[in-house]
Amino acid sequence: MRILFAGTGAAEGWPALFCECDVCMKARALRGKNIRTRSSIHIDEELKVDWPPDTYLHVLQYNLNLAKIKYLFITHSHYDHLHPDDLLMRQAPFAHMRSSNPLNIYGSQDVINCILKAVGEPSKIGLILKVLEPFETIKAGSFRIMSLPANHDPKQTCLLYLLESKGNVILYGHDSGWFPEEIWRRLESWRLDLVILDCTTGAFSSRGYHMGLKEVIEMRRQMLSKNMADKDTIFVATHFSHNGLLLHEELSSKLISEGIEAAYDGLTIEL
């Protein structure tokens, strides 16, 4: 199984759209792994998590064929995770697809409402929408997925996803602050192969809404101590913001000594 981190930035990207702060200026000068588009992962061209406004850029950058994606899981309706208008391009004359396979989209009621508002009748563009409640388990192809309630925007239901396929278990853990107790209880019986965590606030500590380096490091330790993870579990921090102040090399050097990889656009992980 191949996991592609297509984007690894927070809502405003890095360099941020209109920003002239020191670390955005440095990212513009250094480029490379300091350039972060809005966050999403692809698993084997079959499953995708989140639909950011940079999806078209990702198609170009990684030579992706979105017609192959069967399952799209959306964490929440913040626009860096859900840009529903681009879904309208999945119909003639904008797209001429070789198969009539539908795209199955999963998310909270808030997410599904957002998509319906943008696309009108989903079946006309081959979309099948499914509302997920927290702690619901569903099957999608070879995947078994459990939704988990994030500690994020209290104005809507924000979900994290536990994805299991072919003996591998992946936790998609952002956007979220420190996990609520009910998530910890649910995860206790699992052994995770890949853990993807929110490190939006970088150098600054944060336990609500998002997390920073300190919390990501603490979360890994807690997962190890609860035997949800072991020495073979891969930890990846992502969704970085310029307001966290640390460029890629700084993030990477602080995290790697703690057994955590700092994601960058284009990172791939094989499980």
Residues in contact with Zn ion by the rule CB under 5 A: 16, 19, 21, 24, 78, 80, 175, 242
User: Toward Zn ion, which CB reaches closer, 78 or 220?
Assistant: 78
For the CB of residue 173, give the shortest distance to Zn ion in the complex, in Å. Answer: 12
Cβ pair 35, 104 in contact under 8 A: no
What token pair was written down for 127? 């979309």
User: Toward Zn ion, which CB reaches closer, 18 or 94?
Assistant: 18
User: Toward Zn ion, which CB reaches closer, 21 or 128?
Assistant: 21
Cβ pair 51, 64 in contact under 8 A: no
For the CB of residue 198, give the shortest distance to Zn ion in the complex, in Å. Answer: 8
For the CB of residue 11, give the shortest distance to Zn ion in the complex, in Å. Answer: 5
Q: Cis before residue 52, ω within 30 degrees of 0?
A: no
Residue type, 271: L
The residues near 101 (Cβ < 8 Å, ≥ 6 apart) are 70, 126
Cβ pair 42, 70 in contact under 8 A: no
For the CB of residue 16, give the shortest distance to Zn ion in the complex, in Å. Answer: 5
User: Toward Zn ion, which CB reaches closer, 41 or 169?
Assistant: 41
For the CB of residue 199, give the shortest distance to Zn ion in the complex, in Å. Answer: 12
Residue 198 and residue 83: Cα distance in Å, rounded?
A: 20
User: Toward Zn ion, which CB reaches closer, 19 or 97?
Assistant: 19
